[in-house]
């Protein structure tokens, strides 16, 4: 038989005098110590009863909750997997388009100067402005996406990395990603680590 709210209220009313008495306890002699011990035993018994009643009430609900979560998990997993694949495809495309645009701009910048085949600064600026750059924001009927540049890293030479000391004097003996990330955010680039950027989509 499931525990009702009324039963809990009756139980609380029954226990309240013991709680009140316990909170006002004063121990000044052995007799009062024995009385406190008896009170403690009674409260422990009530504690077990309350826990049992609570579990009696929550067990069916927890089982129902577990079942409901089980219903949704397969589709949630499929959505997560699809989102990961979609994000990766968008990241790869946008990052490549930005790389191409940056490469074209760099070629133009390298041609600035005096002499044959060189470009005037004004001409270079104009040509750079004409480079087709990937859109940072995309707006569609269902919503929008904004690409942000995220700096990332990968360890390429652990032996070289292990020779580096951090600010605390320790070595990067293991490829501890959290420590490398902290250093990266502080503007420190470590040997043995390749740094790169990706254009990552975010909802507008």
Instruction: Give tens-digit pLDDT for 124-142.
Output: 899 899 998 899 999 999 8
Q: Tokens for 133?
A: 């750059």
pLDDT tier at 195 (50, 70, 90 boundaries)? very high
User: In this model, does residue 1 exceed pLDDT 60?
Assistant: no
pLDDT tier at 2 (50, 70, 90 boundaries)? low
Query: Residues 116-150, buried b or exposed e (16+ Cβ, 10 A)?
Result: eeebeeeebeebbeeeeebeeeeeeeeeebebeee
Average pLDDT (47-65) is 92
Rg (CA), the chain: 34
Average pLDDT (153-175) is 76
Q: Please check whether residue 199 is in contact with residue 145, taking contact to mean a CB–CB distance below 8 angstroms.
A: no
User: In this model, does residue 100 exceed pLDDT 70?
Assistant: yes
Average pLDDT (157-179) is 75
Average pLDDT (70-97) is 96
């Amino acid at each position: 038989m499931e525990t009702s709210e009324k039963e809990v209220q009756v139980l609380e009313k029954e226990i309240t005098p013991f709680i009140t008495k316990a909170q006002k306890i004063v121990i000044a002699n052995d007799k009062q110590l024995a009385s406190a011990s008896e009170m403690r035993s009674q409260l422990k018994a009530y504690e077990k009863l309350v826990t049992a009643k609570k579990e009696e009430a929550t067990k069916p609900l927890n089982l129902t909750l577990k079942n409901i979560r089980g219903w949704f998990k397969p589709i949630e997993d499929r959505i997560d997997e699809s989102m990961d694949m979609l994000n990766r495809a968008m990241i790869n495309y946008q990052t490549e388009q930005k790389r191409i645009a940056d490469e074209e701009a760099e070629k133009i910048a390298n041609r600035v100067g005096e002499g044959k085949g060189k470009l005037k600064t004004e001409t270079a600026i104009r040509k750079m402005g004409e480079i087709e750059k990937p859109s940072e924001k995309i707006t569609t009927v269902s919503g929008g996406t904004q690409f942000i540049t995220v700096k990332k890293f990968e360890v390429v030479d652990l032996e070289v990395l292990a020779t580096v000391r951090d600010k605390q004097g320790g070595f990067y003996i293991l490829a501890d990603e959290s420590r490398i990330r902290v250093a990266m955010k502080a503007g420190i680039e470590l040997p043995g680590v390749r740094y790169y950027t990706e254009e990552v989509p975010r909802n507008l």
